[in-house]
Amino acid sequence: MNQLWEAVLWCLDPAQWTGPSGIAARSLEHLGYTLLAVVIAAAIAVPIGWWVGHTGRGRGAAVALSGAARALPTLGVLTLTALLLGIGLAGPMTAFVILAVPSILAAAYAGFEAVDRRVIDAARAQGYTGAQVLWQIEVPLGLPVLVGGLRSAALQVVATATLAAYVGAGGLGRYLFLGLKTQDYAMMLGSSLLVVALALVLDGVFALAGRAAVPRGVTVARRGVNA
Amino acid sequence: MKKPTRRSALALAAVAALALTGCGSSDPLGGQDTASGSPSATGGTGGSGDALVIGSQQYYSNEIIAELYAQALEAEGYTVERDYQIGQREVYLPEVESGAIDVMPEYGGNLLQYYDAEATATSPEDIQAALAEVLPQGLRPLEPAEATDQDSYNVTRAFAEKHSLTSLADLKNVDEPLKVAANSEFETRPYGPAGLKEAYGVDVTVVPVEDSGGPLTVKALVDGDVQLADIYSADPSIAAEDLVTLEDPENLILPQNVTPIASEAVDEEAAAIIEKVNAKLTPEALIGLNRESVEKEASSEDIAQAWLAGQGLS
């Protein structure tokens, strides 16, 4: 309990917040890495996921690949990529993207699969082309599930981005490693609390985004069913 | 024709990813997962019969040294229990003090600083004398080996020649900003940037790379991302990568001679066996032992067995 209190005091100490290695700068760095990793992962995983969901092809491979990628230990990937690419951000960023891709990929095709087949059949009967089905039906209706995938990817990456400090790229992990190695457990626990706080903020933002992503027609329909 | 090809390509990729999972998990995490469980594990073995309990740090080279002592003692008829890969000093020294561990390979300078942060000794002899004073009741330092394993500032051969560097004092003449790759705690150590500034008037900034002078640190140096790297002096990569270790005429870095500490359960005869091993443990010998582990991935057991046989100690 005492250590927890010291950790809270460490987080609140104004002297720790300023400067190039202060909490404010490190938190921004940490958040920046998280968002960058999710954006890159989304750029890779969303098109593939949509293609899988729209065509129904390659589903088995997508499941197997993303399952295997989930099992990759991030510290191992990070060490391997950093040994190839050198120290700095490239190694850890590659590892974070690999971490984030599976959730987003799965959410992208699962979102399409969740669309009621009758809606798609109805659209086709009205003469919608494949592209129209994709952009006007599957993408908007699958969006809430996709946002859920982005949310879980962001949470995984924000917690794992502490490893960026392993190869000198900074972030909140800087305090975690320094605290661990110098037996400064207030610093170590304090930086963990900051990561938790960042995760909660991100989670809240994605929860709101998820709600906003539900098309109005769907909410109306649901309310109609519930009433 | 098209479909099966694509599918098999994807399946191949999946298999490759699975294979990558396998090697990824075995290597970098292998050494670490023993740490968390060890304090309780060692707590249980305290004072077990006649067996001498030999501990080691969570550091491959330390385990090899521990195994040298273990096999040398066994060769003389002692019963030995091995309790290897125990975290850091804060974790294992209380176990040694409580008598749960009887022999622990240690490093003179750091051990002295652990018990006496104000210690002023800088030569191996003074450190040994000071250790005998500060070690808790019931513990004694045995005769240290010539071999040391200490932090050292290293540069690439090309960088050393360009600026004609042989010692840390020569860094004053380098007219470009100096970055040193090291674990993050290096920033706070007496031999870190503050110490370097005080002893040699040289300014450096630390680039934290958390693998304790391992391959990532070496790569950062060789790639030119940093100009200096903190690497343990017994690390075979210094010779393998043709690095130049800068001399330290001001004794900024304390000598870390391999120094076993022993409990009262270690009688004079057992102590003599360990000291006989230490007498043969030269700096080159220690680097050679480490190389067997790093380059050939031999087990500490095999490495110790081969070396002791070669020295006529088994």
The three-class DSSP label of residue B10 is helix
Q: Which domain holds residue B156?
A: 151-245
What count of other Cβ atoms lies within 10 Å of the Cβ of residue B32?
A: 12
Same domain for B204 and B301, yes or no, is no
Residue of B nearest to A167 (CA): B209
Q: Are residues B69 and B101 in the same domain?
A: yes
Positive or negative torsion for Cα A108, A109, A110, A111 = positive
Residue A88, phi-psi category: left (phi > 0), alpha (psi -120 to 50), beta (remainder): left
- The answer on B300 and B164 residing in a single domain is no
Using a CB-CB cut-off of 8 Å, the residues of chain A touching B24 are 72-73, 76-77, 80
Split into its structural domains, chain B has a count of 2
Q: Which has the minimum average pLDDT: A24-33, A71-80, A179-188, A211-220? A: A211-220
* Structural domain contains residue B44: yes
Domain-embedded: residue B22: no
Q: How confident is the model at residue A209 (pLDDT cuts 50, 70, 90)?
A: very high
Tell me which of A51, A66, A178 to substitute to probe the interface with B (most B C-beta atoms closer than 10 Å).
A178
Tens digits of per-residue pLDDT, A73-92? 999 999 999 999 988 899 99
What are φ and ψ of residue A149, in 5° steps? -65, -40
* B208/A168 CB distance under 8 A: yes
User: With an 8 Å Cβ cutoff, are B209 and A72 in contact?
Assistant: no
For the CA atoms of chain B, what is the radius of gyration?
22
Tell me if B269 is assigned to some domain. yes
Write out the DSSP string of B219-266. HHHHHTS-SEEEEETT-THHHHTTEEEPB-TT--SPP-BEEEEE-TTS
Between chains, do A61 and B188 touch, taking CB under 8 Å as contact? Answer: no
Question: Would you tell me which residues 80-139 of chain B have a C-beta closer than 8 angstroms to some C-beta of chain A?
Answer: 90
pLDDT digits (tens, 9 = 90+) for A88-117: 899 999 999 999 999 999 999 999 999 999
Q: Do B211 and A79 count as a contact with CB atoms less than 8 A apart? A: yes
Residues of A in contact with B6 (CB under 8 A): 58
Do B241 and B190 belong to one domain?
yes
Q: What six digits make up the tokens of A131?
A: 């592209």
How far is B241 from B304, CA to CA, in rounded Å?
25
**Is residue B303 in some structural domain?**
yes
Instruction: Please enumerate in sequence order all residues whose Cβ is within 8 A of that of A218, keeping only pairs 6 or more positions apart, or say none.
Output: A141
- Main-chain dihedrals φ then ψ at residue B257, nearest 5 degrees: -70, 145
Q: Are A181 and B185 within 8 A, CB to CB?
A: yes
What are the backbone dihedrals phi and psi of residue A44, each rounded to the nearest 5 degrees, phi first?
Answer: -85, -50
- Confidence (pLDDT) at B11: 52
**CB-CB contact of B60 with B31 (8 Å):** yes
Residue A138, pLDDT > 90, answer yes
Q: Measured between CB atoms, which of B17, B28, B209 is closest to A68?
A: B17
Q: Cα distance from B133 to chain A (closest Cα, Å)?
A: 25
> Which residues have C-beta within 8 Å of that of residue B60, sequence separation ≥ 6?
B31, B290, B293, B294, B300
Q: Is the pLDDT of residue A154 over 70?
A: yes
Which of B190, B221, B245 is a domain's end point?
Answer: B245
Taking contacts as CB-CB distances below 8 angstroms, the residues of chain A near B208 are 165, 168, 174, 177-178
Closest alpha carbon within chain B to A70: B21
Q: Which two tokens stand for residue B132?
A: 């005998």
B279 falls within a domain: yes
Nearest CA in chain B to A87: B220
Two tokens at A226? 């519930």
Best B27, B184, B212 residue to mutate vs chain A (most A CBs within 10 Å): B184
CA A176 remoteness from chain centre: 21
CA distances from B206 to B185, B188, B260, B311 (A): 10, 10, 32, 41
Q: Does domain A23-171+195-226 have CATH number 1.10.3720.10?
A: yes
Q: How far apart are CA B294 and CA B237, in angstroms?
A: 9
Q: Domain locations in chain A?
A: 23-171+195-226
Task: Tell me chain A's radius of gyration from C-alpha atoms.
Answer: 21
Contact: B207, A168; criterion CB under 8 Å:
yes
* CA B271 to the chain's CA centroid: 22
Pair B238, B187 in one domain: yes
Final residue before a domain boundary, out of B204, B223, B245 = B245
CATH number at residue B177: 3.40.190.120
Q: In terms of domains, do B41 and B127 share one?
A: yes
Measured CA distances, B283 to B148, B232, B236, B258 (Å): 6, 12, 11, 10
Q: Which of B195, B215, B245 is the last residue of a domain?
A: B245
pLDDT, residue B286, reads 96
Give one DSSP letter per residue of chain A, joined into a string: -HHHHHHHHHHH-GGGTSSTTSHHHHHHHHHHHHHHHHHHHHHHHHHHHHHHHHH--SHHHHHHHHHHHHHS-HHHHHHHHHHHH-SSSHHHHHHHHHHHHHHHHHHHHHHHHTS-HHHHHHHHHTT--HHHIIIIIIHHHHHHHHHHHHHHHHHHHHHHGGGGGGGT--STHHHHHHHHHTT-HHHHHHHHHHHHHHHHHHHHHHHHHHHHTS-HHHHHHHHHHH-
The crossing angle, in degrees rounded to 10, of helices B300-310 and B283-296 is: 140
The 3-state DSSP class for residue B8 equals helix
Cβ contacts of B267-271, under 8 Å, gap ≥ 24? B269/B76, B270/B52, B270/B73, B270/B76, B270/B78, B271/B142
Residue type, A198: L
Same domain as B179, residue B79 = no
User: Can you give the CATH number for the domain in which B82 is found?
Assistant: 3.40.190.10
Q: What is the three-class DSSP state of B127?
A: helix
Residue B201: inside a domain: yes
Using CA atoms, how far apart are residues A165 and B153, in angstroms rounded to an integer? 21
My answer on whether B305 and B159 are in the same domain is no
Task: Pick the residue from chain B with its C-alpha nearest to A74.
Answer: B24
Residue among A74, A71, A5, A62 at smallest CA distance from A33: A74
Query: Pairing mode, if any, of strands B228-232 and B178-182?
Result: parallel
Q: What is the number of other CB atoms lying within 10 angstroms of the CB of residue B14?
A: 20
Contact A53, A112 (CB under 8 A): yes
pLDDT in tens, chain B (314 residues): 444 455 555 454 554 444 444 443 333 333 333 333 333 333 333 344 579 999 999 899 999 999 999 999 999 999 999 999 998 888 899 999 999 999 999 999 989 988 988 888 989 999 999 999 999 999 999 999 999 999 999 999 999 999 999 999 999 999 999 999 999 889 888 899 999 999 999 999 999 999 889 999 999 999 999 999 999 999 999 999 999 999 999 989 999 999 999 999 999 999 999 999 999 999 999 999 999 999 899 999 999 999 999 998 87
Domain-embedded: residue B302: yes
Same domain assignment for residues B79 and B114 = yes
Strands annotated E in chain B: 52-57, 80-86, 103-107, 140-141, 151-156, 178-182, 204-208, 228-232, 243-245, 258-262
- Structure-block tokens of residue A210: 């998820």
B19 in contact with A, Cβ within 8 Å: no
Stated pTM of the model: 0.77
Based on the fold, state whether residues B205 and B266 are members of the same structural domain.
Answer: no
Q: Does B222 lie in the same domain as B184?
A: yes
- Are B139 and B273 contained in the same domain? yes
Residue B14 lies in a domain: no
